A and B are shown apart, each in its own frame.
Chain A
Amino acid sequence: MVAEPQTIIEARNVDFYYGDFHALKNVSINIAAQEVTAMIGPSGCGKSTFLKLLNRMNDFTPGARLAGEIFISGASIYGPDADPVDIRRRVGMVFQRPNPFAKSIYDNICYGPRLVGIRKPQDLDVLVEKALRAAALWDEVKDILSKSAMELSGGQQQRVCVARALALEPEILLMDEPTSALDPIATAKVEEWIKNANLTIVIVTHNMQQAARISDRTAFFFMGELVEFGPTMELFTRPQETQTENYITGRFG
Chain B
Amino acid sequence: MTDESHPPAARDRGTLLKPKLSPTEKGARFFFLVCAISALGQMLLIMVFLFTEAGRLFVSLDGEKGVSLGEFFLSQDWYPTYPSPSYGALALVAGSLSVTLLSILLAGPLGVGLAIYLSSMAGRRSREWLKPAIELLASIPSVVLGFVGMVAIAPFLQNALGLPSGLNILNASLFLAVMATPTVASLGEDALSAVPQSVQDASYALGATHWETIWKVILPASLSGLSTAVILGLGRALGETIVVLMVAGGAAQIPLSLFDSARPLTSTLAAEMGETAIGSAHYHALFALGAVLFVLTLAFNLLAHYLGKYWRRKA
Any A–B CB pair closer than 8 Å: yes
- A65–B18 alpha-carbon span in the complex (Å): 9
B1 near A28 with CB under 8 A, answer: yes
A25 near B16 with CB under 8 A, answer: no
Is B196 an interface residue, CB under 8 A from the partner?
A: no
Contact A65:B16 (CB < 8 A) given known A25-B8, A26-B11: yes
- A7–B14 alpha-carbon span in the complex (Å): 25
Complex interface bits, B67-103 against A, C-beta within 8 A gives 1, otherwise 0? 0000000000000000000000000000000000000
Is A10 an interface residue, CB under 8 A from the partner?
A: no
Point out the residue from B8, B12, B13, B20 that lies within 8 Å of A84, measured CB to CB: B20
Number of B positions contacting A (CB below 8 A): 15
Is A45 an interface residue, CB under 8 A from the partner?
A: no
Contact A26:B18 (CB < 8 A) given known A67-B13, A229-B1: no
Number of A positions contacting B (CB below 8 A): 29
Point out the residue from A28, A64, A83 that lies within 8 Å of B20, measured CB to CB: A83
Question: Distance (Å) between the CB of B14 and the closest chain A CB?
Answer: 3
Contacts of A225 in B (CB 8 A): 1-2
Contacts of A66 in B (CB 8 A): 14-15, 17
Q: Which of A31-39, A55-63, A139-147, A154-162 contacts B (4 or more CB under 8 A)?
A: A55-63
Is B6 an interface residue, CB under 8 A from the partner?
A: yes
Q: Which of A11-19, A108-116, A126-134 contacts B (4 or more CB under 8 A)?
A: A11-19
Is B3 an interface residue, CB under 8 A from the partner?
A: yes
Point out the residue from B6, B13, B17 that lies within 8 Å of A59, measured CB to CB: B17
Contacts of B15 in A (CB 8 A): 65-67
A228 near B1 with CB under 8 A, answer: yes
Question: Distance (Å) between the CB of B20 and the closest chain A CB?
Answer: 6
Is A29 an interface residue, CB under 8 A from the partner?
A: yes
Is B19 an interface residue, CB under 8 A from the partner?
A: yes
Complex interface bits, B28-72 against A, C-beta within 8 A gives 1, otherwise 0? 000000000000000000000000000000000000000000000
Closest to B22 in A: A85
Tell me the residues in window 52-91 of chain A with beta carbons closer than 8 Å to chain B beta carbons.
56, 58-61, 63-68, 83-85
Contacts of B2 in A (CB 8 A): 25-26, 225-227
B11 near A67 with CB under 8 A, answer: yes
Question: Distance (Å) between the CB of A9 and the closest chain B CB?
Answer: 15
B residues near A (Cβ < 8 Å) are 1-3, 6, 8, 11-20
Q: List 17 A-B contacts (CB under 8 A).
A: A13-B3, A16-B14, A17-B14, A26-B8, A26-B11, A27-B1, A58-B17, A59-B17, A59-B20, A61-B17, A65-B13, A65-B15, A66-B15, A67-B11, A84-B19, A226-B1, A228-B1
- Having A66-B15, A67-B11, one finds 5 other A-B pairs with CB under 8 Å, namely A15-B11, A17-B14, A25-B2, A59-B19, A66-B14
A residues near B (Cβ < 8 Å) are 13, 15-17, 22, 25-29, 56, 58-61, 63-68, 83-85, 225-229
